[in-house]
Amino acid sequence: MESAARVFARLSTDEPITNTDVLMGKAVVLGGSLAGMLAARVLSDHAESVVIVERDALPGTAAPRPGTPHDGQLHTLMHGGRMQLRRLFPGFEDEARAGGAIISSPYTIRAYADGVPKVSDGTMGLISSSRPFLESLVRRRTLDLPNVKVLTCRARGLEFRAGAVTGVRCGADGDEWTEEADFVVDAMGRASKLGDWLERDGWQRPAMRRMAIDIDYATGYFRRADADPELAAAIAYRTPTATPPRVASGAITAIEGDRWLITLANYGKQPPIRDVAEFRKLCGELPPVYREAVAGDQLGEILPYHQADSRRRDFHLLTRFPARLISVGDAVASFNPIYGQGMSSATLHASALSEYLRSRPDLDAPARRFLALQRVVVDAAWQISTSADLARPDVTGPYPRGYRLSKWFAEQIAAASITDRSVAVRFNSVTYMRTHPRSLAAPSTLLRALRVNRSQGKPQREKG
């Protein structure tokens, strides 16, 4: 059997997509956010027409909307996701840059562990923009495709015949109708109702795994004086302690419109940070770049956001699943947002869909091959997100088998990545979703990390 690391390497390739055949008449995608648009882009290679069913009237510009209440919060696109956007939409980064996004080089990203500056890996960058900006660019590129269109209505259920999905029940303005479909993709986000619909129609509901994380975000926008900043993004985090700190992690990103977008995150049911004076004061306790970023004018309100859990729906475990149906994006797995994996995961689900469809599958059988490919991506992101959260004293499991050993192992690699560039490259490649976590299990990586940690004095905090 092919290893998960090899599958991940194939899905995360940036090779252009070739050998596409039309396999179906009409594909219907439920949800027109990031994962839905990316799935529609892939389906446009294989369907005569693609219809995206979205309950929000999608704006023509980079504007927030009710269906994505998290869109005002800080979002960065990891290197792995960035490579897939380049692959799916040639010229994407030039367009993003022209619109004001900051395409960061590794040297314009700073990271701090307990106030200590981490060495740059020198290889990986991010796209820094607001989430509505990124989504609107993906949306425009997808809707420019001649065979893709949006239908503004709510999806309410599915129609089935002979073990396969044949249509989607839709409703808008008091009307209800069925949108016929040869293939359906659920991209309705973490609150997707697909499980309810399947159960209602006599199918199995996928089991949901949850890990309580109780994270609170507070996000502020500030005027940035420098149009071409030397700093594009920063992340500062603190080692978990028995009493959760007021700021467990702080992130900054330069975004379009010469603004800083800054998020402070904490855990453990603390009162939300809503007041700008408190926000500025807390930034002052982080490395100096945070204080500098909040020095400009504040724009708008401080936006709070709470996420109770990381969750995944294990479609691959279902023994009975209809043909011509899959789920992608947060509808399958949604993680602690602090690790910035969601959008990159959605790009890799799109890559899995492309590989599945390019294999010319029998569409009248359940999409098991797609589920197997997607599982590799979900397992990888879940492992990173949940193993970091399990290190927090306020998170109480569930602990996987072999947890203590893997915790010790991860601590060695993470500690060495603070000062050693070679370990940082391997570590960031996994956390930036370029390579599979198993790549860190190479004995040479652990030996190097142990050597670095043994020879190292205590790293120094940056002076404010």
Which residues of this chain interact with ligand FAD, rule CB under 6 A? 30-36, 53-56, 67-68, 70, 73-77, 154-155, 187-189, 217, 305, 307, 329-331, 337, 340-344, 346
Closest contact distance (angstroms) between CB of 351 and ligand FAD is: 15
Q: Which is nearer to ligand FAD, 431 or 445 (CB)?
A: 431
Least distance between ligand FAD and beta carbon 270 (Å)? 16
Max Cα-Cα span within the chain = 70
Q: Smallest distance from the beta carbon of 181 to ligand FAD, in angstroms?
A: 14
- CB of 55 or CB of 280, closer to ligand FAD: 55
Distance of CA 269 to CAs 101, 305, 342, 416, Å? 34, 12, 23, 32
**Beta-ladder partners of 208:** 313
- Angle in degrees, 0-180, between the axes of helices 342-358 and 79-88, rounded to the nearest 10: 40
Shortest Å, Cβ 345 to ligand FAD: 6
Cβ proximity to ligand FAD: between 214 and 330 the closer is 330
Q: Which is nearer to ligand FAD, 26 or 55 (CB)?
A: 55
Pick the closer one to ligand FAD by CB: 142 or 344. Answer: 344
What's the angle, vertex CA 342, arms to CA 399 and CA 262, rounded to 5?
105
Provide the pairing of β-strand 116-117 with 109-113: antiparallel
Pick the closest to residue 29 from 138, 202, 170 (CA basis): 170
Tokens of 451: 């050597």
Nearer to ligand FAD, 70 or 259 (CB): 70
Report the residue number, 31 or 244, with the smaller CB distance to ligand FAD.
Answer: 31
Tell me how far, at minimum, the Cβ of 279 lies from ligand FAD, in Å: 16
Q: Which residues of 148-187 are buried (b: 16+ CB within 10 A; e: fewer)?
A: bebeebebebbbbeeebbbbbebeeeeeeeebebbbbbbb
Q: Decide if 434 contacts 126 (C-beta within 8 A).
A: no
Q: State in angstroms the smallest separation of the CB of 332 from ligand FAD.
A: 8
User: Smallest gap, in angstroms, from Cβ of residue 14 to ligand FAD?
Assistant: 17
Structure tokens that stand for 102 in this block: 């900051």
Q: Which two tokens stand for residue 192?
A: 């997707």
Residue nearest to ligand FAD (CB): 342
Task: Tell the smallest beta-carbon distance from residue 276 to ligand FAD (Å).
Answer: 19
User: Omega before 64 cis (within 30°)?
Assistant: no
Strands (E), 80-228: 102-103, 109-113, 116-117, 127-128, 148-152, 154-161, 164-172, 175-180, 183-186, 208-223
Give 45 or 71: the residue with its C-beta nearer to ligand FAD: 71
Closest CB to ligand FAD among 39 and 282? 39
How big is the CA angle at 370 (ends 365 and 374), to the nearest 5 degrees? 150
Tokens at residue 269, please?
């049911």
Q: Is the Cβ of residue 305 or residue 419 nearer to ligand FAD in the bound state?
A: 305
Cβ(93)–Cβ(103) under 8 Å?
A: yes
Q: Residue 18: what residue type?
A: T
Q: Which is nearer to ligand FAD, 212 or 446 (CB)?
A: 212
What is the smallest separation between the CB atom of 445 and ligand FAD, expressed in angstroms?
A: 25
User: CB 85 → ligand FAD: shortest distance, Å?
Assistant: 11
CB of 142 to ligand FAD, least distance (A): 12
Backbone angles phi, psi at 220, to 5 degrees: -125, 150
Q: How far is the CB of 30 from ligand FAD (least distance, A)?
A: 6
In the bound state with ligand FAD, the residue whose beta carbon lies nearer, of 335 and 427, is: 335
DSSP, collapsed to helix, strand or coil, labels residue 383 as: helix
Give the separation between CA 362 and CA 134, rounded to whole angstroms: 34
CB burial of residue 57 (10 Å; 0-12, 13-18, 19+) = exposed
Q: Which of left, alpha, beta for 329 (phi over 0: left; psi -120 to 50: alpha)?
A: left
